[in-house]
Amino acid sequence: MAHQRTSAPIRSARDDPTMPIPRVVIDALDTGGQPSTTQPHIPTGNDPAAVAGELPLSVWATAQTSPAAQRKGRYVPESTAHPAKMLPAVAAHAIGHYTRPGELVFDPMAGSGTTLVEAIDAGRRAVGIEYEPHWISVARANLDLARDRGHHHEAEIVHGDARQLPFLLPERYQGQVALVLTSPPYGPSTHGQVVTAATDSPDGKVHKYHHRYGSALDRGNLANVGHHRLLAGFTRILNGCAAVLRPGGHVAITVRPWREHSELIDLPSQIIACGQAAGLVPVERCVALLARVADNELVARGSFFQRDFIRKQREQGLPLHLISHEDVVVLRRPLNFVSSRKSQYVQAEPKRSSVPLSGLDTGVRKGSKGASA
């Protein structure tokens, strides 16, 4: 859909998407009464959430077919085991909108290779970095399958930790990337698959699988660290991305909020703050639909875990709904960007994020799991 510029909405504390919602507020909404507690923080003009409200907006109809239908025949079966696969139509839309044929697309957290496959299918070149060796093998198999379809554009995937990005990519890629397309790790509530059949689950209970990334003890994996370390690590990754982007190149990050202990963690606004800390300029905050657009409604495609989570929360009195979209935060490398690799990459990663957290959700107490694919 065409981009439509909107004016910044007037926010009240109750409208603020980053605030934890106290039980008294929920009770007041249910009864029509007025809550008696002090209202949470209202974003100011310097807060990322307020800044995001001023960005151009667009809606991407990226779930007209199911995720399985989008991948059928185009990805190897092993791809389904990745806990957080990027929707192919989301990747294809971003690549088609922000690049031209022959240009270079980069994913620093490539997972099973969705970004790379959609890039060469669209006539672009592609390069990725992936931390886990297993997913490198799957991504290469997906690229081989794409080549079997006749797509022979340059594409490769490199093993390594994207926080060390300046030392991983060959020199020929420096300053050549037109689009970085990726996703950070985030909350685990939407990840994984289930078995319920008696033959697969003898005890008759629902069991979750394909919802973790490698060893949970591997603290080098951003999927296994706390929330503040995640933000610090992803800021380092964005610093490296800015260095390989061409002047004016774009970064598109698919990300969604999630809930911990009934509190909403507004990760999209936090990622905008990370990008700004890396010297990138926010230019759009888009909506990539995860629900099918029907004649008069959106048809949600929520996973088992989303539906189960919503059901349990409603039983406790919280009026939650299925997530029907994913945010796409779009940033741009300024024409006058100056990289400072020495200060950004030689120092050890801090235990807590150096990203300013003003206006972000400060109620986070536990880490997250998940990664892009």
Q: pLDDT tens, 6-51?
A: 443 333 333 333 333 344 443 444 444 443 333 333 333 344 444 4
pLDDT of residue 60: 95
Q: How far apart are CA 40 and CA 365, in angstroms?
A: 18
According to the model, what pLDDT value does residue 7 have?
A: 40
- Mean pLDDT of the 165-188 span: 87
More confident residue, 235 or 301: 235
Q: Are 85 and 79 within 8 A, CB to CB?
A: yes
Helix (H) / strand (E) containing 231 = helix 227-244
pLDDT of residue 202: 55
Residue 284 has pLDDT above 80, yes or no: yes
Over residues 343-361, mean pLDDT: 37
Per-residue pLDDT, 365: 30
pLDDT higher than 70, residue 195: no
**Span 174-183, pLDDT tens digits:** 999 999 999 9
Q: Which fold has domain 59-187+213-301+327-345?
A: Rossmann fold (3.40.50)
Q: Work out the burial of residue 337: count CB atoms within 10 Å of its CB; fewer than 13 is exposed, 13-18 middle, 19 or more buried.
A: middle
Question: In angstroms, how far is CA 186 from the centroid of its own chain?
Answer: 7
User: What does the pLDDT look like over 93-152, one tens digit per residue?
Assistant: 999 999 999 999 999 999 999 999 999 999 999 999 999 999 999 999 999 999 999 988
Band of pLDDT at residue 59, cut at 50, 70 and 90: very high
Task: For 20-31, give one letter per residue: b (16+ CB within 10 A) or e.
Answer: bbbeebbebeee
Mean pLDDT of the chain: 74
Q: In the predicted model, is pLDDT for residue 165 greater than 60?
A: yes
Q: What was the pLDDT predicted at 223?
A: 67
Amino acid 311 reads R
Cβ pair 75, 145 in contact under 8 A:
yes
Q: Check pLDDT > 70 for residue 338.
A: no
**φ and ψ of 326, to 5 deg:** -125, 135
End-to-end CA distance of the chain: 25
Residue 221, pLDDT score: 72
Cα→Cα distances 188→99, 132, 221, 227, Å: 31, 18, 15, 12
The answer to whether 121 touches 142, Cβ cutoff 8 Å, is no
Q: In this prediction, what percent of the chain has a pLDDT beyond 70?
A: 65
- Coil, helix or strand for 248? strand
pLDDT at residue 80, as a whole number: 86
**Cβ count near 331 (within 10 Å):** 28
pLDDT tens-digit series, residues 211-245: 445 555 565 677 667 778 888 899 999 999 999 99
Q: Is the pTM of this model over 0.75?
A: no
